[in-house]
Structure 1
Amino acid sequence: MCKKAFPDSQIVKKITLKKTKISYVIQDGIAFHENQSLTDVCRRQKFSIIIDESTDISVSQILAVVVRYFDTSIEDVADALLDTISVENGTAIGLFTAVKDLLKKKSIPLSNVIGFGSDNCSTMMGVKSGFQKLLRDEIPSVFVIGCVCHSFALCSSHAVSVLPSYLEEFLANVSSYFSQSGKRQRDFVLIQEVTGTSIHKIPKLAQTRWLSREKIISAILEQYDAL
């Protein structure tokens, strides 16, 4: 990449970087200075935080802390990863303490936080003891918003509650019927060929991947003759 970016550089032409060296260059060089620059921005001006928890390959709980701020260099709002925190206590107070300690370690005033965004789980958005409640206790004026996709999913689920429940069960049953059997999938391909239907698989229905409902409905309508 460097050789293509700087074709006129005699120094770059002689650079050779393998996995170990490039890892150090990115993590301890580029990433370090990028993070220092971002930390300086958060010290000087207001920003919002967006957090989400995940589990890595070693089954450790990782909390990603993203900041949203106005970037004067591009005259626009920007999002950037401030840091990732390994947390042992996944409760609201544990996550809140971890974020506070991170800001304190970087000498970023907690009062600079003007907004908070996260998913809608009770740990994050609980009104009595969630992360947002603990944050509001410290910063009463903070603006809080939950996951818009999750909110739309809840609205949609409530809106379709007037429909018979077997409709969603039907989607799940069709999906699992094929996903659990390679023989059924092979037989389905033969039937698709006979009926002249496009050879497409029936996708899986995921409870937490709301767009999967649209995909499986479209697939069933397309494959209806073969089914």
Structure 2
Amino acid sequence: MHRTKCTEMINGVLAPYFLKKLVADVADQRFSLLLDESTDVSVSKYLGVVMRYFSNTRQTIVSTFLGLVQLEGGDARSIAQALVAFLEKCCLKKEKLLGIGTDNASVMTGNKSGVHQVLKEEYGIKYLVLIRCVCHSLQLAVTHASNDTLPRSVEYLVRETYN
């Protein structure tokens, strides 16, 4: 198959089939989402969504890519609105959303106007749990701790050695 036909097969046949199968596996149980926003080279904003849930058919916790949502804006309300619309499109109930895992960006985790707070207050998901990225938190803690104890050149050397 060439690119056009292959794209149409994926978008028109395979993707709807696997999404329907995923929604059937989730059924009516709770799930969590891992979210990360990104901007591509054309300056379009996207929200990557990964779903975690307990699969009754596999008898294990499953993490799977759910979708890539194009965002109209980069503020918390736009992201929350796009996420809720995407869940409705996928036939997943927002009331079953148990938690979200994000990086530590203020647009996602802000106490007054972050995505987490908007979902809780404006969309009625009262018991939504926020899981902040441990890797980002650890990096911030190490950087802060090393400001007074290590010369900048040592931190730079360690960071660039990894890169």
TM-score bracket for the superposition, by shorter chain length: 0.7 to 0.9
SS at match of 1:25: helix
Is the helix fraction higher in 1 or 2? 1
What does 1:44-193 align with in structure 2 at a 5 Å threshold?
A: 44-137=28-121, 138-168=124-154, 171=157
Aligned length: 161
Query: Which has more radius of gyration?
Result: 1
Alignment partners' CA distance in 2, 1:80 and 1:51:
12
Structure 1 position 170, deviation (Å): 5.8
- Ranges in structure 1 where 5+ consecutive residues have no aligned partner: 1-16, 172-210, 217-227
- 1:28 corresponds to 2:12: yes
Q: Report if the CA contact (8 A) 2:31-2:51 is conserved.
A: yes
- Ranges in structure 2 where 5+ consecutive residues have no aligned partner: none
Q: Which segment drifts farther, 77-86 or 22-31?
A: 22-31
Alignment partners' CA distance in 2, 1:64 and 1:99:
10
User: Quick one: percent identity of the two aligned structures?
Assistant: 32
Under a length normalisation based on structure 2, what TM-score does the superposition of the two structures give? 0.85
Alignment partners' CA distance in 2, 1:28 and 1:22:
10
RMSD of equivalent CA atoms: 2.2
Q: Residue by residue, what CA displacement relative to the aligned partner does 1:81-128 show, whole Å, maximum 9, x if unpaired? A: 222211121101110111112222333221100111011000001111
Alignment partners' CA distance in 1, 2:153 and 2:14:
52
Q: What is the identity, as a one-letter code, of the residue corresponding to 1:28?
A: G
Query: Closer, same or farther in 2 for the Cα pair 1:58/1:136, shift >3 Å?
Result: same
Q: What is the identity, as a one-letter code, of the residue corresponding to 1:95?
A: I
Is the strand fraction higher in 1 or 2? 2
